[in-house]
Amino acid sequence: MTVDRIIHLAVGVVFFILFLRLAKTSYELKLLILGGITMAVGTWMPDWDLWLGIGYHRSPLTHSALPALLFGLLVFKIKRSPILVVGFCLGLASHLFWDIIAYGNVHWIKGGNNDRLFLFVNALLLIIAAVMMHYKYLISSSFQRSG
């Protein structure tokens, strides 16, 4: 594991813990573990452009909200918990956030700080998606408890 991987994972853990603290909701331990695993995958996923043969590192295809959308569609197709999507979104958002600070330079996006703006907007969208999935969990768990 490279230093860059460790940094991305550490930033992801911070995002995940802050989110859970601010959400003030307790998840079952097994859901927290699954959410933590998908968070770790989310921190690593943007770098798959290195192995997928896309041709560039920091491709807008992998360094955007698109992978989370695809992951979310897959998760909800097999009816799994929203915490999986929450973890993945937060991991991916943390990766994009760290890339804003450390690198920028998203290929195919031209002009000054446009690449950092692209990363910021996508990281923000991912955090919003995590919040929405969290509320989906709260609503679905309250129906399960009352029914």
Question: Each residue's pLDDT tens digit in the chain (147 positions)?
Answer: 788 889 999 999 999 999 988 887 777 888 889 889 999 999 998 888 777 766 677 788 888 999 999 998 888 777 667 888 999 999 999 999 999 998 777 877 887 788 899 999 999 999 999 998 888 766 666 555 555
Cα–Cα distance, 103 to 122 (Å, whole number): 15
Q: What is the pTM of this model?
A: 0.87
- For residue 146, the model assigns a pLDDT of 53
> What pLDDT does residue 28 have?
81
Residue 126 identity (one-letter amino acid): L
Residue 98 CB burial class (10 angstroms; 0-12, 13-18, ≥19): buried
Q: Are 136 and 82 in contact (CB under 8 A)?
A: yes
Q: Is 25 left (phi over 0), alpha (psi -120 to 50) or beta?
A: beta
Q: CA 107, CA 91: separation in Å to the nearest integer?
A: 21
Compute CA 7 distance to the chain's CA centroid, rounded to the nearest angstrom. 15
Query: Distances in Å between the alpha carbon of 41 and those of 13, 91, 107, 123?
Result: 11, 7, 22, 16
Burial class from Cβ neighbours inside 10 Å (0-12, 13-18, 19+) for residue 37 reads middle
Which pLDDT score, from 0 to 100, does residue 138 have? Answer: 67
pLDDT at 139 (0 to 100): 66
Q: How many CB atoms are closer than 10 A to CB 33?
A: 13
CA distance 83 to 2: 27
